[in-house]
Amino acid sequence: MKTDPTFWIAARASGLVAYLLLTCSVLAGLVLKSRPFGSRLKPAALTDLHRFLALLGLAAIGLHGLALTLDRAVPLDWTALLVPGRSAYRPLWTGVGVVSAEATVLVYLSFGLRKRIGVKNWRRLHWATYAIFATATLHGLLAGSDSGQPWALDLYLAAIGLVTGATAWRALVPPPRPERKRAARPASA
């Protein structure tokens, strides 16, 4: 009897969408910090976009996990979504994905805890985003069933290139200094 591929397709699609949203969130955060477009982008709007993309990414991760547990092609119980290495399917690289997802949740929750944990600790935690991006990339490449396809490899290479380029920009180009408004000079008589 042939199995219904709906959940397998949903799992693959939601995993790729989660990865793309993670990439876009990382890029939004880098643009927010490095300001490559000067003052044309408002920091508050970019912060909201950064947070919204991260939230959408978490929703896609949740859908990815749900679809994987509902699919019958590869048996996976819900504990494999929480405990790294519990999956029978490529346990190491699936476990790397679990750790990446859990770390994403932690970093996302830190948005609301910024004042309580302090800006310095919040920034340290946000540095973990680079590790999350790297582990999500490894998970996709080494556990993803589409990773051998040229289009999927191109997607991962493009994401890596964009994040690497934006990181290099942040490291090498100082952000523009905020413009100071000049006080009006009194008219001379």
Rounded Cα distance, 171 and 11, in Å: 36
Name the residue ranges covered by the structural domains of the chain.
6-172
Average pLDDT in the chain: 89
Structure tokens at 52: 């919204």
pLDDT tens-digit profile of 121-142? 999 999 999 999 999 999 999 9
pLDDT tens-digit profile of 80-91? 899 998 998 899
Q: What are residue 48's phi and psi, to 5 degrees? A: -60, -40
